Amino acid sequence: MTIKQIHRSFNHVVAFEVSKETLVVHVLPGDRRLSIPNKLQAVRRVLRSEIKHNAKSELGPLLIVVESTGGYERHVLQAGIELELSVHKAHGSRVRFFAKYLGLAAKTDPIDARVLALFGLQTAGLILYAPPSIDERALRELKARRDEIQAMLIAEKKSALARPACKRCQVYQVSYCQPS
């Protein structure tokens, strides 16, 4: 993943609290909140609306903030990149520390969405997300396949060790070895 650090501040932040089925969206300025399905079309619709609002109100650069959630954030990232917007993929523990700094102990989706928006608004030097290159994606796929094969080998070894050994050839029972 290519990353670049930015030093400018953003006046317009759209934050997404991600879950498998829904996204809680919080927009600053204006402190607006809405809930949408976690679908690419819904994310695009919200972002296009915010781009129009931004142009009309002359708010300056727009930033999308989304917390990394193991893949459920992919629609937000994809839509942000497609629309050529600045996107920050926030680290969960960093956002939690920011929430503690603000004195927010409760953890609900609407509160988390607002914290993400405030995080984007108030944090300097955020690192912008850039999609992984073709080579990086290929390497990740190869690594995933390697991990899969390693897990299969471990399972096979455990299975073989669970079978009793053949007294004649001292090898664990396999289909070609017939006990006497």
On whether residue 124 sits in a domain, the answer given is: yes
Give the range of the structural domain holding residue 34, as residue numbers without chain letter.
4-128
On whether residue 147 sits in a domain, the answer given is: no
pLDDT digits (tens, 9 = 90+) for 72-107: 899 999 999 999 999 999 998 899 899 888 888 778
**For 82-116, b where at least 16 C-beta lie within 10 A, e where not — what string?**
ebebbbbbbeeeebeebbeeeeeeeeebebbbbbb
Task: Indicate the Cα dihedral angle 150, 152, 157, 162, nearest 10°.
Answer: 150
On whether residue 67 sits in a domain, the answer given is: yes
CA separation for the pair 174, 176 (Å, rounded): 6
pTM of the model: 0.72
Average pLDDT, the chain: 85
Helices (H), 64-173: 74-82, 92-102, 109-122, 134-162
On whether residue 83 sits in a domain, the answer given is: yes
Angle at 24 between CA 20 and CA 30, to 5 degrees: 165
What residues contact 55, with CB distance under 8 A and at least 6 apart? Answer: none
Pick the closest to residue 172 from 163, 128, 43, 120 (CA basis): 163
Query: Is the pLDDT assigned to residue 42 strictly greater than 90?
Result: yes
Characterise 155 by phi-psi region: left (phi > 0), alpha (psi -120 to 50), beta (else): alpha
**pLDDT at site 8:** 61
CATH code for the domain of 45? 3.30.420.40
On whether residue 156 sits in a domain, the answer given is: no
Query: Is the pLDDT assigned to residue 19 strictly greater than 60?
Result: yes
Query: Is the pLDDT assigned to residue 5 strictly greater than 60?
Result: no
Q: Count up the domains in the chain and report the number.
A: 1
On whether residue 79 sits in a domain, the answer given is: yes
